[in-house]
Amino acid sequence: KSHRSSRLHVWFNTPESYFKQVYNAYYLEKYQPAYTNRHQFLTVPTGEPKDVNKPLKELAKERKLRVISDESLLEDGFHSDHFELTVDAAKADIAWFISPLSEEYRQKVGITDSCYVNQLPYESCLINKNFFKSTVMGNLGKSDWYKETYDLGSELPLFMARFFENQRLGLDNHWILKPPDMVRGLDMVITNDLQRIIRSMETGPKLCQKYIENPLLLKGKKFDLRWIVMVKEAKPAQLFRYKMFWVRSANKDFTLSPNSLEDYETHFTVMNYGGKTLQKILDHEYVQIFDEQFADQGVQWERDVLPKVEKMIVEIFSLAFNSFPQMDNPKCRALYGLDIMFDTDFNPYVLETNFSPDNTRCVEYDPEFFDHVFNGLFLDQDDGLIRLQ
């Protein structure tokens, strides 16, 4: 009933006193976001690894480890002598797939229970936007590194209560609407118009997240950073990040003027699709620009900001591992792409965690990218990787 009344606010002005009651009930007394579970969990068979008495790093001393994969970037093979591609699933030691390895898909491809795989059980708590939101807010309520987010399908009255409270307090009310299962900015909307937010649900499910209205700017433009994070073990956590990160920049100077909110090249940073101009900034160039731009504020990237990013990454994965102990499996490894943005106080925020990220730029900037990843995850060789603690 309350959800229906909220959606009808577009046509009939539901009294704000009603949402004040919602605000008091949830925020001041017993705030607990709805915990939704719409995304099917990946489960991984528990068969024994092949050559159980020989870890992969020992087996690699006798022969190359065989990798079966649908990742096109691996078609040129590896530069190291430890791995080789195979099309015979029955002989594979490692299955590295960008497609979700459901039980049905495993059987179709012929992947055996003895294979090591590049996906964690229950990783949906990280990679599905809706489930990630529930994992964070359902456990923490509010977070220093994740902006307030609502599932409009189940929390519309709660969101509207927050919207009206922000309005009453004179706080910024810009929000970004995200479809739970789309990427690359598709069907995303930035607005401070409540009626538009409500009506956005007509095009499908939406998450509504507080927009970072004061983003840190690089030469006047909004930017975020793509970090490659690898999980070797969940319990105890063994996390690594790749030595490089990737800078993604908007093409136009940032503004919150009303007529700019529809301008993709002002408010979004993913420009390597759709024929847009891509600003190519290497990580070491970024650090130099950052340190020069913020020297007057006494802020340095490696001393003041990078430690915050690494601490946040550890907290994100620790939260997931503690919430879902089932994620721990000795045959599973994983690689994720984390998108991180900063506000003008240099606080980092995670935008999303991506399953099977597009690693085209990684290989372009570092041709030995996959050698470092595979050596680290399967052979305990950390060259090119940075351990997170």
For the cut 50, the answer to whether the pLDDT of residue 144 exceeds it is yes
Cβ neighbours of residue 194 closer than 8 Å, sequence gap 6 or more: 9, 160, 163
Q: Residues 308-322: pLDDT tens digits?
A: 999 999 999 999 999
44-48, 105-109, 182-186, 383-387: segment of lowest average pLDDT: 44-48
C-alpha span between 253 and 163 (Å, rounded): 27
* pLDDT value, residue 328: 93
Average pLDDT for 24-45: 47
Q: Pick the closest to residue 150 from 82, 197, 213, 85 (CA basis).
A: 197
Q: Residues 356-370: pLDDT tens digits?
A: 899 998 999 899 999
Would you state the structure tokens that stand for residue 335, as one six-digit string? 């690689």
Q: Are strands 207-210 and 175-178 parallel, antiparallel or unpaired?
A: antiparallel
Would you state the structure tokens that stand for residue 151, as one six-digit string? 């599932």
pLDDT band at residue 32, thresholds of 50, 70 and 90?
A: very low
Q: Residues 253-273: pLDDT tens digits?
A: 999 999 999 999 999 998 877
DSSP string, 298-315: T--IIIIIHHHHHHHHHH
pLDDT band at residue 99, thresholds of 50, 70 and 90?
A: confident
* pLDDT value, residue 185: 56
* pLDDT value, residue 40: 42
Q: What average pLDDT does the chain have?
A: 87
For the cut 60, the answer to whether the pLDDT of residue 199 exceeds it is yes
* pLDDT value, residue 226: 97
C-alpha span between 63 and 373 (Å, rounded): 19
For the cut 50, the answer to whether the pLDDT of residue 48 exceeds it is no
* pLDDT value, residue 183: 61
Would you state the structure tokens that stand for residue 115, as one six-digit string? 């294979």
Separation in Å, CA 87 to CA 60, 92, 93: 19, 8, 12
Average pLDDT for 177-198: 84
Would you state the structure tokens that stand for residue 169, as one six-digit string? 């307090």
- For the chain, give the percent of residues with pLDDT over 90: 68
pLDDT band at residue 206, thresholds of 50, 70 and 90?
A: very high
Asked if residue 289 lies in contact with residue 283, where contact means CB atoms within 8 angstroms, the answer is no
SS percent in the chain: helix, strand, coil, step 5: 40, 20, 40
Asked if residue 157 lies in contact with residue 7, where contact means CB atoms within 8 angstroms, the answer is no
Q: Pick the closest to residue 71 from 273, 282, 337, 363 (CA basis).
A: 363
C-alpha span between 163 and 184 (Å, rounded): 27
For residue 287, how many other CB atoms are within 10 A of its CB?
17
74-88, 119-133, 177-191: segment of lowest average pLDDT: 177-191
Which residues are paired to 96 by β-bridges?
69
Average pLDDT for 222-229: 98
DSSP string, 171-217: ----EEEE-TT--TTTT-EEE--HHHHHHGGGGS--EEEE--SSB-E
Which residues are paired to 349 by β-bridges?
341
- Phi (first) and psi of residue 128, to 5 degrees: -90, 125
Which residue pairs from 9-18 have beta carbons closer than 8 angstroms and sit at least 24 positions apart in sequence? 9/160, 9/194, 9/195, 9/198, 10/195, 10/198, 10/199, 16/164
- Phi (first) and psi of residue 265, to 5 degrees: -75, -5
* pLDDT value, residue 107: 86
